[in-house]
Structure 1
């Protein structure tokens, strides 16, 4: 399975003209080789019935902003996708491993499923409320949309902090230093604590990582 994972990355990278000699590409492959089996083992331990066959991909579109995110394909296979700009933003393998571990943690913790359920509940609740008040079909549809957005974001900050904590442990188990990886938050803009924001403030995330490091005696 590890070989299949790397072949997928080679294929995606090759489409953009990236060679196996590129230092950034080699670093990504090396980190993926270390993180993926740890993530799979942790996933299977927590959720024996969940699809834990992670596939890590590179999006080499030069116009894509720096981003790393977790998704699933049509078969339910978990995907972790990095953009080229994101790879270029890492200053060392520890930061790359930390972000990669954070993203796989979202799948292990079932955050996408929870987010979808929250969105549906929010849409149903607000839609029914407007309907009971005599709203028009358009007003009900708008209410459902707003309810879905609010519902999806209701616990998004908590999900990020949970993924930070588990990602810290996975980073360590994969052979990297979360104490160095967490410094990635010093290099990216702080979203603050915006109402209905999708990410918590950077200091809050750093605190969770440091607490996890102390709790488990990590480095």
Structure 2
């Protein structure tokens, strides 16, 4: 995967797109609508760059204040591959540096700077809240539990391995919706402190399919997410 680091952005480091099961190595990506505009205009890229420059120092300060000892040297990158569905997510590089990644389709679909800022705040909140490490722990616990049950029943090595894979997937999803709401809440704080309107920014949810409240779903209902944003915003 080819990334373009925005040259005009500080070395700061962010969830939008697929419906596949989340990898234990990163929080579940935020889902967006199917096919829309996939190539941002020059004005949209400039707006994205301005939002990044504004959001980066606020996210870093919040990270250092809330998570002592955590790497808060965020790096924001843009995936420039054409024809991809809108996507944004937070991950870590090999050295543990937090990466906030956004692709061109996401930048093109965001309708204003508040939506750009809110998703950026949401992604940085995943890192500050330690969701990757917590998701890995849940996946490991699920793999051990289901694999152990399979072993006790006398299953063969192939069946045990499959049970471990299933357990890891279930474990990774167990608290996924809670993680999203936590990121929405902290993302609201970061967004507002950077001077943007988080309630207006969270309207980005109206562009994505409502996942409802499915068992082992990766995302909470859109209405619940909006309730969280409004509640936290009103408390600030």
Of 174, 177, 180, the residue aligned with 1:154 is: 174
1:184 partnered with 2:204: yes
* Runs of 5+ unmatched residues, structure 2: 11-38
TM-score when normalising by structure 1: 0.89
Of 130, 134, 137, the residue aligned with 1:114 is: 134
Of 209, 213, 216, the residue aligned with 2:233 is: 213
Q: How far 1:34 sits from its partner (Å)?
A: 0.8
Q: How far 1:8 sits from its partner (Å)?
A: 7.5
Runs ≥4 in structure 1, deviation > 2 angstroms?
none
Query: Residue 74 of structure 1 aligns with which residue?
Result: 94
Query: Residue 14 of structure 1 aligns with which residue?
Result: none
Q: Number of paired residues?
A: 204
Q: How far 1:187 sits from its partner (Å)?
A: 2.0
Of 78, 90, 98, the residue aligned with 1:58 is: 78
Query: Residue 112 of structure 2 aligns with which residue?
Result: 92
Looking at structure 1, the residues matched to 199 and 129 of structure 2 have their Cα atoms a distance apart, in angstroms, of 22
Looking at structure 2, the residues matched to 153 and 140 of structure 1 have their Cα atoms a distance apart, in angstroms, of 20
Looking at structure 2, the residues matched to 110 and 173 of structure 1 have their Cα atoms a distance apart, in angstroms, of 21
Q: In the alignment, is the contact (CA less than 8 A) between 1:46 and 1:108 conserved in 2? A: yes
Q: In the alignment, is the contact (CA less than 8 A) between 1:156 and 1:199 conserved in 2? A: yes
Of 183, 190, 193, the residue aligned with 1:173 is: 193
Which of these two proteins has the greater Rg computed from alpha carbons? 1
* Runs of 5+ unmatched residues, structure 1: 11-17
Deviations 1:62-121 (A, max 9, x none): 122101000000000000100111111111000100000000000000001000000001
Looking at structure 2, the residues matched to 179 and 117 of structure 1 have their Cα atoms a distance apart, in angstroms, of 32
Q: In the alignment, is the contact (CA less than 8 A) between 1:8 and 1:57 conserved in 2? A: no
Q: In the alignment, is the contact (CA less than 8 A) between 1:101 and 1:170 conserved in 2? A: yes
Looking at structure 2, the residues matched to 62 and 9 of structure 1 have their Cα atoms a distance apart, in angstroms, of 22
| Higher RCO (Cα < 8 Å, 6 or more apart) | 2
Q: How far 1:6 sits from its partner (Å)?
A: 4.1
Q: How far 1:39 sits from its partner (Å)?
A: 0.7
